[in-house]
Amino acid sequence: MNVAKCMVFVYCFGALLRGQSSVPKTRAVLPTSRASLTASPGTKEFSLGSKIYLTLKIKNTSKQVVRMSQSVPEYDYRVVLTDSNGKEAERTKQGFAIENPGKEIGRTEDGGIIVASSPISFTRLELQPGEEVEVELNLSTLFNFTKPGTYYLRVRRELQQELPAVVKDTDEIVFSNPVELTIVP
pLDDT in tens, 20-72: 333 345 666 677 888 999 999 989 999 998 999 999 999 999 999 998 888 88
For residue 142, what are the CA distances in angstroms to 80, 98, 102?
A: 10, 8, 17
Q: Give the whole-angstrom CA distance, residue 46 versus residue 32.
A: 32
For residue 120, what are the CA distances in angstroms to 69, 107, 159?
A: 12, 22, 19
DSSP classification of residue 178: P
What is the structure's pLDDT at 155? Answer: 95
Q: Give the whole-angstrom CA distance, residue 170 versus residue 161.
A: 8
Residue 19: Cβ within 10 Å count? 6
How far the first Cα of the chain sits from its last, in Å, is 64
Going along the chain from its start, the domains and CATH numbers come out as 30-90+121-184 (2.60.40.2360)
Q: What's the alpha-carbon Rg for the chain, to the nearest Å?
A: 20
The pTM of the full predicted model, rounded to 2 decimals, is 0.73
Q: Which tens digits make up the pLDDT trace of 72-126?
A: 888 889 999 999 999 999 998 888 877 766 666 566 677 766 665 655 566 888 9
- Residue 159's nearest CA partner among 172, 140, 170 is 172
